[in-house]
């Protein structure tokens, strides 16, 4: 009797396990089928294409230099000479997308429009879920406000949908720029220093710049075996990814290589395959699929860290964020003439430290860390 039961179990496993593998493979191939378009993405892509200008704006060419090796930290650039923070660089070689949502139009966007956005108004696009037609500050952005139709939540599907629209917006309006950069709506972008950082690398090379929030690579070996063949012969090694909350940048050449994997809703399908959020999936695409290792930059800061930046280095950082990390506030280590109630994000204080000549800044504002 015991032998009979074992035989039945063996037969069940022989026929069931292959069947499950076949079903899983079919599902993955279906998810990655380029002919299957997501309604929310495809509808807006068509609208963007109708708005696309006849000629693209070309950014200023920047000096080419060898890309950094895997795991290299570019903190050596901290000691290099500062550029003039008082005058924007025009035209800018970058294309910036800001991920936001209707829930944050009143709380997060105004301080961005008041501060760093003024350094790159022609190169910055806000990608949201639903546009609020009652807010003149947003409607005045015109095509620089992209209403994606994505979900309003912070779940994987909504985040990946918005990142897909960010990439699509770049390919439609900024693909001739040297760099594509993503930031969140709780980031301050020191635009001149961003340009300075990127000038250390060549846009015609494969460059992926970010900052890890985990401090270690992500192991995906258990799931990499089941991705569709369309992704090619991917590496099964653990991969690094730059957290979206600190900002990530991709060179023009790498963005062009990514295009077949992300356009027309395919980035959302890629997220469904990895079962990971948007920033992790970007790292997977760069490192595991295209085999371009991430260059980590310690000049990028997210809300997932307590920035401990010396006063003399504050002006040289590229991004900052804000939030709550356990019992501590994740804020720019800077006090100034604005009270915490007047400037809870510290973005206004930091902006005035960089640009004391701005008319709404307290006279001779210096700030005190």
Choosing from 279, 329, 335, 343, the catalytic residue is 279
Active site residue 279: yes
CA torsion sign, 258 to 266 to 180 to 198?
Answer: negative
Alpha carbon separation from 228 to 167, 254, 273 (Å, rounded): 22, 21, 9
Residue 97 CA to residue 254 CA, distance in Å, equals: 17
Supply φ then ψ for residue 108, to 5 degrees.
-110, -35
- By annotation, the residues acting in catalysis are 279
């Amino acid at each position: 009797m015991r032998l009979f039961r074992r035989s039945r179990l063996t037969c069940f496993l022989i026929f069931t396990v292959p069947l499950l593998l076949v079903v899983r493979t079919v599902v993955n191939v279906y998810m990655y089928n380029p002919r299957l378009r997501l309604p929310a993405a495809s509808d807006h892509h068509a609208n963007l294409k109708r708005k696309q200008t006849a000629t693209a704006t070309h950014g200023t060419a920047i000096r080419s230099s060898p890309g950094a090796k895997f795991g290299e930290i570019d903190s050596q650039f901290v000691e290099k000479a500062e550029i003039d923070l008082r005058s924007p660089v025009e035209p800018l070689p970058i294309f910036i997308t800001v991920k936001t949502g209707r829930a944050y139009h009143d709380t997060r966007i105004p301080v961005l429009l008041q501060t760093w956005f003024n350094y790159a108004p022609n190169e910055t696009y806000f990608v949201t879920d639903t546009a609020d037609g009652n807010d003149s500050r947003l409607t005045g952005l015109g095509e620089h406000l992209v209403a994606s139709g994505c979900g309003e939540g912070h779940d994987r599907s909504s985040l990946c949908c918005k990142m897909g629209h960010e990439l699509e917006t770049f390919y439609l309006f900024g693909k001739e720029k040297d760099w594509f950069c993503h930031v969140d709506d709780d980031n301050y972008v020191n635009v001149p220093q961003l340009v300075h950082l990127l000038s250390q690398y060549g846009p015609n090379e494969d460059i992926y710049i970010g900052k890890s929030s985990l401090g270690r690579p992500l192991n995906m070996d258990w799931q990499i075996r089941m991705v569709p063949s369309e992704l090619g012969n991917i590496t099964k090694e653990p991969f690094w990814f730059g957290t979206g909350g600190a900002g990530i940048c991709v060179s023009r050449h790498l963005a062009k290589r990514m295009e077949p994997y992300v356009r027309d809703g395919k980035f959302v399908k890629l997220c469904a395959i990895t079962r990971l959020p948007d920033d992790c999936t970007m790292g997977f695409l760069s490192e595991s699929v295209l085999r371009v290792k991430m260059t980590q930059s310690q000049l990028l800061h997210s809300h997932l860290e307590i920035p401990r930046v010396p006063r003399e280095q504050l002006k040289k950082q590229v991004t900052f964020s804000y939030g709550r990390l356990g019992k501590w506030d994740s804020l720019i280590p800077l006090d100034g003439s604005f009270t915490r109630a007047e400037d809870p994000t510290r973005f206004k204080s930091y902006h005035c430290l960089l640009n004391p000549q701005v008319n709404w800044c307290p006279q001779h504002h210096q700030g005190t860390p």
